[in-house]
């Protein structure tokens, strides 16, 4: 018995030590990723400009390789990490998390932060290529086939008026497709990847399945093209929206006072990520909270800061900040929606088992697109 107790204590110390080393690993892996990206970007830049390789990098194969390697590295380094604004806003959000934490026990640099940092690098590299190519195709398709949708009278309005109409229309459509992704079970399985985070942080904003970006960019780009808003203005707005979303995903205890009646806040969006049944399908707002208030989906209590996450035992949550796991876990999380859809199909056709079912304490209903806590599970633990 004494030996067993000693072994248990040793295992506990090892686990605590691993958790304590998570911030160091997160910073170390982040620094290594930045350094590797810088080196890769420099080498690719030199390679692209070297006379001996001119014929190669201008060939079809060279252009493809450049598109999938050089441009993502350039976007990550030059357009993001090399900009002082990135570090100012990044540092500012971390300061707010330190001064006003929604959950005091949550560490700034935890295993969850390290995992979402990997999602950040993924979205800024692979995502840049995939999404950039899709948006380009979408813009060209609009120019070739959908210009009849352009609201010509809008062109007579000042730029700021066209921009304002575009922002309102886009935000409402984002609210609508957000609502759809919660209500349609197939769509929810993909969106559940985002909702799976138990420790919200500023990089949770980029914890999205790559297929979700197709829907988001379609809905956010087409209305602005219809209203003839200039592309640079669209880009500037998207950058602002991206950082505002990072702000309200962070571990910050803040409801913005009277501004909460117009804008989404860290408090109201935490309600949206809540794993409690009473908060299910509420606070869908993406930028503005006015749509939730008008359509009756807003939780008015501005002092609630519940636990977050989903109740599905099969979801591959991150458990360690070790290098290999940080890479393999997002891959498993990308595969999760397909496994969940297959599980639902088997259950519907009588081929599933109890072990396949999500740990949500309730049976699935047609109008429920997300898993949630049972009536007896008030702790929110999954």
The string of DSSP letters for 332-351 reads HHHHHHHHHHHHHHHHHTT-
| Residue 113, CA distances (Å) to 6, 59, 82, 145, 377 in order | 32, 41, 21, 43, 26
- C-alpha R_g of the chain: 23
Q: What is the pLDDT of residue 381?
A: 30
Chain position carrying tokens 């598109």: 67
Q: What is the pLDDT along the chain (382 residues), one digit of tens a residue?
A: 444 444 444 544 444 444 455 555 555 555 555 555 555 555 555 544 444 444 444 555 455 545 545 555 555 555 667 678 888 999 999 999 999 999 999 998 889 999 998 898 887 776 666 766 777 788 888 888 888 888 878 777 787 888 888 788 888 988 988 998 999 898 999 999 999 999 999 999 989 888 887 777 777 677 777 877 666 666 677 778 889 999 999 999 999 999 999 999 999 999 999 999 999 999 999 999 999 999 999 999 999 999 999 989 899 999 887 778 888 899 999 999 999 999 989 888 876 554 455 554 333 333 333 443 333 333 333 3
Separation between Cα atoms, residue 165 and residue 167, nearest integer Å = 6
- Full-model pTM: 0.73
Task: Go through the chain and tell me how many residues it has.
Answer: 382
Separation between Cα atoms, residue 332 and residue 315, nearest integer Å = 9
Chain position carrying tokens 């860290």: 266
Output DSSP code: residue 68. I
Q: How far is CA 296 from the centre of its chain?
A: 25
| Sequence-separated (6 or more) residues with CB below 8 Å from residue 375 | 277, 361
Q: What is the pLDDT of residue 97?
A: 95
Separation between Cα atoms, residue 138 and residue 334, nearest integer Å = 24
């Amino acid at each position: 018995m004494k030996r067993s107790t000693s072994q248990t204590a040793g295992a506990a110390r090892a686990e605590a030590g691993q958790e304590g080393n998570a911030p160091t690993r997160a910073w170390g892996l982040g620094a290594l990723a930045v350094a590797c990206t810088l080196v890769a970007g420099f080498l690719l830049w030199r390679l692209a400009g070297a006379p001996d390789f001119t014929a190669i990098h201008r060939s079809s194969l060279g252009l493809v390789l450049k598109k999938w390697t050089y441009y993502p590295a350039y976007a990550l380094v030059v357009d993001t990490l090399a900009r002082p604004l990135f570090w100012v806003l990044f540092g500012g959000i971390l300061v707010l998390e330190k001064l006003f934490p929604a959950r005091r026990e949550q560490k700034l640099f935890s295993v969850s932060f390290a995992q979402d940092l990997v999602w950040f690098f993924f979205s800024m590299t692979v995502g840049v290529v995939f999404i950039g190519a899709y948006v380009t195709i979408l813009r060209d398709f609009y120019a070739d086939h959908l210009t009849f949708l352009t609201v010509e009278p809008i062109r007579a309005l000042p730029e700021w008026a066209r921009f304002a109409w575009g922002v309102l229309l886009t935000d409402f459509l984002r609210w609508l497709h957000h609502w759809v992704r919660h209500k349609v079970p197939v769509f929810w399985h993909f969106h559940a990847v985002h909702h799976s985070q138990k420790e919200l942080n500023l990089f949770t904003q980029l914890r999205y399945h790559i297929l979700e970006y197709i829907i988001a960019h379609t809905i956010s780009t087409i209305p602005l093209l219809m209203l003839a808003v200039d592309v640079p203005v669209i880009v500037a707005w998207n950058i602002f929206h991206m950082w505002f979303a990072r702000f309200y995903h962070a571990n910050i205890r803040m409801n913005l006072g009277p501004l909460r009646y117009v804008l989404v806040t860290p408090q109201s969006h935490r309600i949206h990520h809540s794993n409690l049944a009473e908060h299910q399908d509420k606070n869908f707002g993406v930028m503005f909270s006015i749509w939730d208030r008008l359509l009756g989906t807003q939780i008015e209590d501005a002092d609630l800061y519940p636990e977050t996450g989903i109740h599905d035992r099969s979801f591959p949550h991150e458990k360690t900040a070790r290098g290999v796991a940080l890479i393999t876990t997002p891959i498993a999380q990308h595969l999760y929606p397909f496994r969940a859809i297959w599980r639902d199909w088997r259950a519907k056709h009588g081929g599933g088992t109890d072990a396949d079912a999500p740990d949500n304490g309730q049976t699935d209903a047609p109008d429920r697109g997300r898993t949630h806590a049972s009536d007896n599970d008030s702790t929110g633990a999954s």
